[in-house]
Amino acid sequence: MNRRVAIIGGGLSGLAAGVSLSERGCEVLTLERRNHLGGRAYSFLDSKTGCVIDNGQHLFMGCYRETIAFLKKIGTLDRLEFQDRLRVDFLEKSGQTTLACPGLPPPFHLLAGLIRMKGLTLADKLRALNAGRAIRFSNGIEDRTVAQWLDALNQSARINELFWHPLAIATLNESPDTASAKMLVVVLKNAFTGSRFDSSLGISRVGLSDLYTHSARRYIESRGGEVRTNVAVQELVIENKKVMAAILKDGGRIEADFFISAVTPRAFLEMLPEEICRNEFAQLSRLESSPIVSINLWFDRPVIERRFAGLVGARIQWLFNKDLIIKESKSPNHLALIISAARRFIDLSKEELVEIALEDLRARAPESRSAKLVHSLVVKEREATLSHTPESDHLRPEARTSISNLILAGDWIATGLPATIESAVMSGHRAADLVFDR
């Protein structure tokens, strides 16, 4: 008998689950409350310039194996472009520093990259080697923050500024003072101890929606499944530890053999009856999120020749040159500037954020000083990702729940990875496996 599976949420995790289940012959119904798919990773058109804008620049890594398999299956992997080897330029007020990893086997490629990096003293480099040993044996990380762990490893302010902090903020979207050291070590192990490609960064040459939402939808529909947008699940009816139906906001009722919740923790709790929230999933209300702000700027002339760069000692952490990234860029001289772990910035006005972006950029990219700003667009994602603290490591739930036909997916469940694209896709694949495990 075909299994009927209702998936609530049309982000990466819900679509990955839907694709995997459709491939295996299930009758898939995906329900998404917004008028578009993609959740926290989507794109839209800017009405003034016609440019495709991501809700925030997303970086992929060579170690995102499940994501790469997902994109391959839906036929869009060629829209991602990966570096041959990890290389990141950092712009400082005083000039540029580069982390360029040579063609050595891991982790020696990273160590050699750090050793060659300008602006680090020999003592900084030796301390970094010491941290490399600690990663290998993962000693002293449990329940520590990134800052505490780096202190214990005696890392200098300079190497923190140039390597550890940008890495932690970019991958965990949290300040080193609160971020979980355990999760940073997971990133380091995944990126730097497998193959050399694992640490290479990948960027989409198209808007995020063109990268996966349309193709995933086509994949599901071509196998008899259905993907409905503008459909919000209001409540799950649960009796005797089984979901009997999902009640929709418009009053509709959906019945299925299995229900996969592929929404955020808050949205999941909102769908549950009160007593089940209190008894079975109480710890989820302690999971917090962390914001990201993206400031898109358009100038009257080119201001930077690189595809992307880190900004050192600035409030903006990363800069992306969309002209060189998007394959068919509609309007020239478009930069996206990113502030991750943006709690201090999320409530500032658009004008204040643009001012910050311009100040940080002009202090580090001399060509931008004479360029005139012609347009700007700010995107704030208040609940961009899970806040990865030592406490949240213990609160993330397994995919299997105590409700017999209810399975959890989403970047925030206990995949063993930080809440990223790869965690979302992995959770979707696991949820699909569990449908066949019952």
Ligand X SMILES: Cc1cc2nc3c(=O)[nH]c(=O)nc-3n(C[C@H](O)[C@H](O)[C@H](O)COP(=O)(O)OP(=O)(O)OC[C@H]3O[C@@H](n4cnc5c(N)ncnc54)[C@H](O)[C@@H]3O)c2cc1C
Residues that bind ligand X (CB under 6 A): 8-14, 31-34, 39-41, 55-56, 58-59, 232-233, 262-264, 267, 271, 292, 381, 384-385, 410-411, 419-422, 424
CB of 370 to ligand X, least distance (A): 30
Q: How far apart are CA 19 and CA 233, in angstroms?
A: 21
Chain CA centroid to CA 82, Å:
16
Q: Which is it for the CA torsion 220, 407, 43, 176, positive or negative?
A: negative
Q: Which two tokens stand for residue 310?
A: 């880190």
CB of 420 to ligand X, least distance (A): 3
Residue from 205, 113, 194, 227 nearest 159 by CA = 113
Q: Which is it for the CA torsion 331, 334, 339, 343, positive or negative?
A: negative
Chain position carrying tokens 């009796």: 239
Between 126 and 237, CB nearer to ligand X: 237
Between 70 and 299, CB nearer to ligand X: 70
Between 263 and 365, CB nearer to ligand X: 263
φ and ψ of 402, to 5 deg: -80, -10
Between 107 and 202, CB nearer to ligand X: 202
Peptide bond into 107 cis (omega under 30): yes
CB of 27 to ligand X, least distance (A): 18
CB of 199 to ligand X, least distance (A): 14
Could you tell me how many residues make up the chain?
A: 438
Tell me the DSSP string of 29-53: EEE-SSSSS-TTS-EEE-TTT--EE
Cβ neighbours for 409, distance < 8 A, ≥ 6 positions apart: 7, 9, 13, 14, 16, 17, 260, 261, 262, 399, 424, 427, 428, 430, 431
CB of 55 to ligand X, least distance (A): 6
Between 128 and 419, CB nearer to ligand X: 419
Between 171 and 368, CB nearer to ligand X: 171
CB of 324 to ligand X, least distance (A): 17
Between 33 and 196, CB nearer to ligand X: 33
Cβ neighbours for 289, distance < 8 A, ≥ 6 positions apart: 264, 382, 383, 384, 385, 386, 387
CB of 93 to ligand X, least distance (A): 26
First to last CA, the chain: 14
Between 13 and 155, CB nearer to ligand X: 13
CB of 366 to ligand X, least distance (A): 27
